[in-house]
Structure 1
Amino acid sequence: MSAAVRPPGAADLRSEARGRPLADLALEFAWRQQRVSRAEIARALGLARSTVSDIVGTLLARGLLREGPEGPSRGGRRPVLLEFRDDAAAILGAELGASHVAVALTDLRGRVLAWRNRDHPVRTDPEGTVALMIELMDACRIEAGIGRGRLLGIGVAVPSPVNPSEPDRLPEVVLPAWRGHSGMERVRAHFDVPVLVDNDANLGAIAEQWWGAGRGVEDFTYIKVATGVGAGYVIRGEIYPGATSVAGEIGHLSMDPAGKPCVCGNRGCLATMIGTPALVEHAAELLPEYPTSVLAGGPISIGSLLDAALADDPLASAVVEEAATRLGVAVAGVINLMNPAAVIVG
């Protein structure tokens, strides 16, 4: 996925015009303003009105813009305002976790039209994962009444680094059962739209940048804690992928060289200490020390562990506090190395 994903203002759009299609810039400006005149587009992008007229004609013909009411006059004829059509198309997004598949269908404003989530052994069942992803995508599309012809594209978040030159090859070190392939060619063939694949932490950072706590922040770090631990770095408004697109793999920082083995081949990685499987395992190890814990009544899951922690159960609280301390140590290292303006944990 392109690193140039920052949500720009008008000045940013003008500075970024070189190398980007003018129609894309005009459409992005209209998306951000929601209702805009041709003259405002011309001023924002520094374009001649005749050029803007041609661009707008194309976008109107494609159904991405529509003419709305007249705007206020500045001394001449009242301008006809252009409205961005949020419902002109739809976008599918999928998150492949280690043990679940989540799918959402949104309009062009990012509003969720349909949603599905199902547990699945993603790490060990690539064929079943891809089939389930397609099934859930079709279910969302049908629920929202969206035909395939209205799909603009698909984005897929995966729990591993992604090489932008080979986005369909996932690293075997992290996902050995996938043998270096993501199966996205099946998704492309089924829906016949572009499919973009990127690391889940990077996409989480982009989401925070557009809609969350990262709005208006030029430099921040987003940390995703789930089965594993990853980070997305936003530097000067853009995702920083690193030389080989593996920046942000803080889950594989070795916190204890003599610790438990990790899937990456090292020992004592942060993910082996604070990932969700590690928390459940640690709670089970400590259970004999807390015989009155509410967790003593049956098998421990991450859900029951977090519920117990929210209820101030001593065992659950001890596990979460220890994990938070370890995460804090790692975050302190990130702050010292990267000097972000903000750290967002999700």
Structure 2
Amino acid sequence: MPDPRHVDTLTSQTRATLRHWAAADGPLALRARIVLLAAEGRRDAEIARRLGVSRQTVGAWRHRWYSGGLAGLEQRRRTGRPVTVDEADVVTRTLLAPGGSGASRAIARELGVSHATVAAIRRRWNIMPDQPIVPRIPTRPPLPGADTWVMGLYGDADRGVLLVGTRTEAPRPAAAVTVIDAEVLAGLDRALDTLRLEPASDDQEFSAFLADAAALHADITLHAVTLWSTDERRPAGSLVSHHDLPVRASWRGFLNALIALDSTSHPESSRRVFLDLVAALERPAQSAGRSVRWLRERVAEHQSRPDGGWPAPDAPSFSGVNQLDLGSFNECVVIETVRLVGTVTRGEIAHRTGLTQQSVSRIARSLLDRGFLVEDAQRRATSGKPRTPVRLCGSAAHALGLHIDPEVLTAVVIDLDGALVCTCTRTISADIDPAEFVAQAVEVGHEALGKARGAVQPNGFLGVGVAVPGPVDIASGTVLGPPLMRAWQDLPLLYLLKEHFPCPVLIEKDSLAAAAGERWIGRDRRARDFAYLYLGTGVGSGLYLNGDLYRGVSANAGEFGQLCALALDRVAADGRPEILPECNPPVSVPQFAERLGLHTIGTEHSSTEAYRAVGRAAAAGHPAATAALREVARAVGRGALGLVDLLDIDLIVLGGPFFTDDVADCYLEEIGRAVNEFPTARRLRRVHVERSVLSAEAAAVGAASTLFHATFTPRLKGRERG
């Protein structure tokens, strides 16, 4: 008989809440299922068998329900340990750690569980640190063989099945090489969050899916692992073997773990394979569909090297080494790690960098003593003494950034965290006398330093970074005559500024400076390769590739206008690519808008004001203004397409003084369409087009950031700026 105390409290609203919890993932789902089964009169032993948990667990949660109702089922605050541990989550984090050998203690601290629990899970799955991965998948019954592949996914409102493949003769296990990252799994989670499926009318569609899979992958033994199901019936036939999830794994966690395991064990299971899976999930997510059907292409036979292994990718850019004579490099590795994460413990630094705990502790003590790091509030530990995380001390270092533009001089002072201390601007004209220009640049720089005097410590001021339109001779600091600033032909700007600033002065192209600032201030959001499109008086690009700013042989990489001209087949009679008006937005956008019938009255003497007036009109829905902006954005998009195809990157960042809120959506849409619909390798990647994390003063902030970049970014010999 059901317990009368329990049944009486199950109102329709309470029952609905419990069913909602039971349909989701996580610890609340298990607790709700226990209560619902108990309401049906099930005994503890029967509930335990059906849910695959212990009788003690069932009894404990029934007691919590009797004593506290719904509130009693919710998570109680404990000392850092969750009530349940998703084993699959532990496996995924282990595999995505550098080399697949993340320390149990580091993963335990990250998840808030004991390191003994993590170690036990790794033993159960046979994923041990510093050993080739030969896993055991503890489904019910266990999957046979150690060589597992993710072969397909079927889902409708009634059933979700992950198709896993195994081979009878597994190849020699290769060392762990992760070819996906957490972003792929995050994209998968987002697609699953928005997935809307209708109930299947019968089992025929699922049976047809299994038949197609068996025909396509005849050389691989297939296994169907049930992720979710409202019906315990299995389709008839022996095309595949059927398995249930491991007892201590959620279906989402298991899906992520199998993808990470496949990717780690098989280099040919690349990002593209799983991006195709994400795309298959996104199609029915956009409008309710009956089912998801995804089958990967045939798996190629192993084409291994003679030694049986796969060629490993390049080592991570920020991996540390432990020799004492490389202390300054390792200090930069630690600072870079802290900067990317924000607040991090010493153990987590060791886990992320590969440095030993002793090396990290020694370096952290030195950086704390010198004021570059500060300790944050202590964190409760699962065992031992509390952990004390560290973070960058923003006030430990400052830099001045100067941006030279044909229409405005901008000076900023920023701290080590990238926070703006002050900003000063001054309007100039493109034909200003060089001597007068230098005098004004010096004045606006000193004005900014004067405003920041109370915040900047003399021993923490790194110097001045200067961003200028290219081309520029970095070695001598000479501006060679930008196309829009002819009066500054061969101007020895660095030499002239050094006479007025008795400190280190660096000069950089404005688009490259903006990319450096994006990388520094963007932290972990920009911890990968990207191209920065800088919309100023002219459109330039800055490239961040292989962990460093790419300057090119002459430090003038990023000349974007000619790329746009070639993409649009706009070539002058002598064969030289045209200087496109579209690549000078403040001039071209008002001209195009006027040609289409929009007159920006009162802005004839300022192209900047005219551009902003068109932007406001476009935001208000004026068709001529919108058409003018789209014409420029399409031209820039064709150039961006060339960058994507040439460099094989998947992130474009848009910023600069003329990338304002009024026009941002237009540029994002047109450029995003160009770089995703037209590239040759569009099936292999999804290119993200994002707003810059920097303000309109992007080049000035970037110029200052080049000082931090030059001082604190870890580099090995051969990568320094020459």
Q: TM-score range by the shorter chain?
A: 0.7 to 0.9
Counterparts of 1:156-305 in structure 2, within 5 Å, are 156-166=466-476, 168-172=477-481, 174=483, 175-212=485-522, 215-216=525-526, 218-253=528-563, 254=565, 255-258=569-572, 266=576, 268-271=578-581, 274-284=584-594, 286=595, 290=597, 293-295=598-600, 299=604, 301-305=610-614
User: Deviation of residue 108 (structure 1)?
Assistant: 1.1
User: Deviation of residue 122 (structure 1)?
Assistant: 5.1
Counterpart contact for 1:220–1:233, Cα < 8 Å: yes
* CA offsets 1:263-295 (integer angstroms, 9 cap, x no match): xx95622356543223334445x2xx63xx452
Equivalent residue for 1:316? 625
User: Of the two structures, which has the highest relative contact order with CA contacts closer than 8 Å and spacing of 6 or more?
Assistant: 1
Aligned to 2:478, the other structure's residue is in SS state: coil
Q: Return 5+ residue gaps in structure 1 as ranges.
A: 1-10
Q: 1:271 to 1:124 in 2, by over 3 A?
A: farther
Equivalent residue for 1:134? 442
CA distance in structure 2 between the aligned counterparts of 1:245 and 1:232, rounded to whole angstroms: 11
Equivalent residue for 2:415? 107
CA distance in structure 2 between the aligned counterparts of 1:43 and 1:322, rounded to whole angstroms: 49
User: Deviation of residue 224 (structure 1)?
Assistant: 1.6
CA distance in structure 2 between the aligned counterparts of 1:46 and 1:339, rounded to whole angstroms: 28
CA distance in structure 2 between the aligned counterparts of 1:325 and 1:73, rounded to whole angstroms: 54
CA distance in structure 2 between the aligned counterparts of 1:65 and 1:151, rounded to whole angstroms: 16
User: Deviation of residue 109 (structure 1)?
Assistant: 0.6
User: Deviation of residue 216 (structure 1)?
Assistant: 4.8
Residue among 443, 452, 464 paired with 1:154: 464
Residue among 325, 330, 335 paired with 1:27: 335
CA distance in structure 1 between the aligned counterparts of 2:363 and 2:505, rounded to whole angstroms: 26
TM norm structure 2: 0.40
CA distance in structure 1 between the aligned counterparts of 2:374 and 2:652, rounded to whole angstroms: 40
Q: 1:242 to 1:257 in 2, by over 3 A?
A: same
Counterpart contact for 1:127–1:183, Cα < 8 Å: no
Q: What letter matches 2:434 in structure 1?
A: P
CA distance in structure 1 between the aligned counterparts of 2:602 and 2:431, rounded to whole angstroms: 29
Q: 1:83 to 1:340 in 2, by over 3 A?
A: closer
CA distance in structure 1 between the aligned counterparts of 2:592 and 2:616, rounded to whole angstroms: 16
CA distance in structure 1 between the aligned counterparts of 2:456 and 2:537, rounded to whole angstroms: 35
Residue among 648, 653, 662 paired with 1:344: 653
CA distance in structure 1 between the aligned counterparts of 2:396 and 2:337, rounded to whole angstroms: 16
Residues 131-140 or 50-59, more deviating:
50-59
CA distance in structure 1 between the aligned counterparts of 2:345 and 2:558, rounded to whole angstroms: 42
Q: Return 5+ residue gaps in structure 2 as ranges.
A: 1-315, 656-722
Counterpart contact for 2:402–2:466, Cα < 8 Å: yes
Equivalent residue for 2:636? 327
Superposition CA RMSD, Å:
3.7
Equivalent pairs counted in the alignment come to 326
CA distance in structure 1 between the aligned counterparts of 2:365 and 2:529, rounded to whole angstroms: 37
Residue among 385, 388, 397 paired with 1:89: 397
Which structure has the larger Rg over C-alpha atoms?
2
Counterparts of 1:63-78 in structure 2, within 5 Å, are 63-66=371-374, 72=380, 76=384, 78=386
Counterpart contact for 2:472–2:479, Cα < 8 Å: yes
Aligned to 1:177, the other structure's residue is in SS state: helix
Aligned to 2:531, the other structure's residue is in SS state: strand
Q: 1:243 to 1:185 in 2, by over 3 A?
A: closer
Counterpart contact for 2:600–2:614, Cα < 8 Å: yes
Counterpart contact for 1:213–1:344, Cα < 8 Å: no
TM norm structure 1: 0.76
CA distance in structure 2 between the aligned counterparts of 1:34 and 1:318, rounded to whole angstroms: 42
Equivalent residue for 2:367? 59
Larger strand share, 1 or 2 = 1
* CA offsets 1:127-165 (integer angstroms, 9 cap, x no match): 333333332333333323235614222222211144443
CA distance in structure 1 between the aligned counterparts of 2:652 and 2:525, rounded to whole angstroms: 13
